[in-house]
Amino acid sequence: MRNGKESQNLEKIDLKPGERLDDLQRNGYKIIQDPDKFCFGMDAVLLSGFASCPEGGRVLDLGTGTGIIPILMAAKTKAKELVGLEIQSESAEMANRSVLLNDLQTRVKIVQGDIKEAGQLFEAASFDVITSNPPYMINSHGLQNPDAPKAIARHEMLCNLEDVVRAAAKCLKPGGKFYMVHRPFRLTEIMVLMHEYKVEPKRMRLVHPFADKEPSMVLIEGARGGKPRITVEKPLIIYEEHGKYTQEIYEIYGY
């Protein structure tokens, strides 16, 4: 059964054709998604588990999509304010409805805007933590509909990796932390750009689908103005066997 607050919030929002409500397994929070457009993946969940925030801190999520990372971090941390920046108006509007649904409007704010303009949208050096699950693919080769939300989320069409790192460098407080999930094949580029923009890589964890398979994701933490020294954590393994997550993955998801 729904509690009274959730029932009231459901009355405030409308699900559009094709949309659904997904349970996030955290604090009773739910998120509105449209599978035909874009749904969050495991990478966003893993990033929310890898990132941390000091009590009372401010968090900015660059390219927030439907707001999954701010909503999960609202459940997992004691951050005072979490801001999601999203360029696609439809995704930003959907994220706003999820914020209202979960009664998080006093902590979570969705801003429609361009990552490349983050330095103008927000005060410089004003965030304790910045997160990002950016587009992984370098170009739009082979795409039949480059304007589709899925294509924009997965390919560097409206922003690239340097835009993300540059925005993080501008908006982070000195000593502030930057957390990103990406693909290992771009690790050299990631490291070079973070070092160039003085968001020094400090912690890294590779994510493997199975213990004997090569990594499919990399989680990385940087510190603005940090000294050059990185800790490489033990690998995170997704599946113990086909169809069965490892215990650590279950814990990250909140099961």
In a domain? residue 8: no
Q: How confident is the model at residue 189 (pLDDT cuts 50, 70, 90)?
A: very high
Cβ within 8 Å of residue 214, ≥6 positions away: 184, 208
Inform me whether the pLDDT recorded for 193 exceeds 90. Answer: yes
Nearest residue to 177 (alpha-carbon basis) of 199, 204, 162, 194: 199
Give the pLDDT of residue 150.
58
Tell me how many domains the chain contains. 1
In this structure, the chain runs to a length of 255
More confidently predicted of 10 and 166: 166
The per-residue pLDDT of the chain, averaged, comes to 90
Mean pLDDT of 239-245: 95
Tokens (6 digits) for 102: 């979960």
Environment class of residue 130 by beta-carbon count within 10 Å: exposed (0-12), middle (13-18) or buried (19+)?
buried
* Domain annotation covers residue 155: yes
In a domain, 7, yes or no: no
> In DSSP terms, which residues pair with 61 in a beta bridge?
84, 131
Amino acid type, 108:
V
Residue 203 domain-assigned? yes
Full domain range(s) for residue 109: 19-253
Token pair, residue 201, equals 């890589």
Is 236 part of a structural domain of the chain?
yes
Strand partners, 38: 34
Whole-number pLDDT of residue 68? 97
In eight-state DSSP terms, residue 155 is B
Euclidean distance between CA atoms 192 and 189, whole angstroms: 5
Per-residue pLDDT reduced to its tens digit, 141-168 = 555 455 566 555 565 556 799 999 999 9
Is 152 within the bounds of a domain?
A: yes
Lowest mean pLDDT of 2-6, 23-27, 43-47, name the range.
2-6
Give the CATH number of the domain where residue 53 resides. 3.40.50.150
Residue 36 lies in a domain: yes
Q: What is the pTM of this model?
A: 0.91
For residue 52, pLDDT over 80 is answered with: yes
DSSP for 163-195 reads: HHHHHHHHHEEEEEEEEEEE-GGGHHHHHHHHH
Residue 3 lies in a domain: no
Share of the chain above pLDDT 70, in %: 87
Q: What amino acid occupies position 124?
A: A
